[in-house]
Amino acid sequence: MPQTIKPLVAGNWKMNGSTAMLKEPRLLAAMMRDVKTKCDILVCPPAILTRRIKGVVKGSKIKVGGQDCHAAASGAHTGDISAEMLQDAGATYVIVGHSERRTNHKESDATVAAKAKAAHRAGLIAIICIGETLEQRKGGQTLAVLSEQLKGSIPEGSNAANTVIAYEPVWAIGTGLTASTAEVAEAHTHVRNDISKIMGEEGPKTRILYGGSVKPSNAVELMGAANVNGALVGGASLKAADFIGIIKAYM
Ligand code: PGA
């Protein structure tokens, strides 16, 4: 049942991060010592920092994840990183199908499904991202687009333990715009119904995150919408002081 789902607050650093920035997860881990939260917490830095951040947050409940993976376990794929490599570096999650990957790297639903399958193969939890563009929303296609993406992006073998869905309206990512609580509730309830068809009895137990300009000032409201089980946070995950403000929505 949705209310028994343990929420997840995940930070997506995107192409940001440096040795100097390790102070942020270190600070977050220190802040977490005094905060009792009911959610899981995840930081997804660029893969080059996975191991370093894993070390920095050691002993805290903060988990580390990747932002993308290749579908293959190894091979001649210059510049790519496999799910197995992320797992080896200490990751327990990986984001797949983020709209920036779908746009910048022309990733199809089938590609995203193959990547999610690779994550499962490596023992990682796949965070499968979906979301409509502004044009699609204006055209009244939002729910149909989400259905299509879910149908194509969730591989066989997906269950509540190895899969998280992230609904991120493309027009709300990095723009400061957020969907209204009603829009979020509508989309998330639609996703819940769809994944219950696709994943059977696992659907009602699977976490559905909202992403798109989540910040401390709107987190409580957004996280309170129907069928929202956490957040995928970009910009506001880069500073520990902001990220903890979102995590505190689940105190
Ligand atoms: P944002 O990014 O919080 O900066 O809007 C969210 C995301 O892309 O995951």
pLDDT at 1: 44
Instruction: Tell me the one-letter amino acid at 215.
Output: K
Distance of CA 234 from the midpoint of ligand 1 (Å)? 3
Distance of CA 215 from the midpoint of ligand 1 (Å)? 10
Find out whether the beta carbon of 242 lies less than 6 Å from any atom of ligand 1. no
**DSSP character string of 128-148:** EEE---HHHHHTT-HHHHHHH
- Of the listed 84, 168, 188, 190, which one is catalytic? 168
Q: Is 98 a catalytic residue?
A: yes
DSSP state, residue 1: -
Find out whether the beta carbon of 177 lies less than 6 Å from any atom of ligand 1. no
Distance of CA 102 from the midpoint of ligand 1 (Å)? 14
Instruction: Out of 9, 16, 214, 222, give the residue to mutate to test ligand 1, the one with the largest number of ligand atoms within 8 Å of its CB.
Output: 214
Q: Specify the pTM.
A: 0.97
Q: Is 83 helix (H, G, I), strand (E, B) or coil?
A: helix
Q: Which residues of 78-90 are buried (b: 16+ CB within 10 A; e: fewer)?
A: eeebbbbbbbebb
**For residue range 136-182, what is the model confidence (pLDDT) as tens digits?**
999 999 999 999 999 999 999 999 999 999 999 999 999 988 889 99
- Of the listed 70, 84, 98, 132, which one is catalytic? 98
Instruction: Out of 213, 218, 243, give the residue to mutate to test ligand 1, the one with the largest number of ligand atoms within 8 Å of its CB.
Output: 213
Taking Cα atoms as reference points, which of 220, 126, 144, 119 lies closest to residue 178?
Answer: 220
pLDDT at 5: 96
Instruction: Out of 99, 103, 168, 222, give the residue to mutate to test ligand 1, the one with the largest number of ligand atoms within 8 Å of its CB.
Output: 168
Find out whether the beta carbon of 107 lies less than 6 Å from any atom of ligand 1. no
Find out whether the beta carbon of 97 lies less than 6 Å from any atom of ligand 1. no
Backbone angles phi, psi at 105, to 5 degrees: -115, 15
pLDDT per residue rounded down to tens, the chain (251 residues):
444 899 999 999 999 999 999 999 999 999 999 888 899 999 999 999 999 999 999 999 999 999 999 999 999 999 999 999 999 999 999 999 999 999 999 999 999 999 999 999 999 999 999 999 999 999 999 999 999 999 999 999 999 999 999 999 999 999 988 889 999 999 999 999 999 999 999 999 999 999 999 999 999 999 999 999 999 999 999 999 999 999 999 98
Find out whether the beta carbon of 44 lies less than 6 Å from any atom of ligand 1. no
| CA 166 – CA 161 distance, rounded (Å) | 15
Q: Is 190 a catalytic residue?
A: no
| CA 48 – CA 28 distance, rounded (Å) | 20
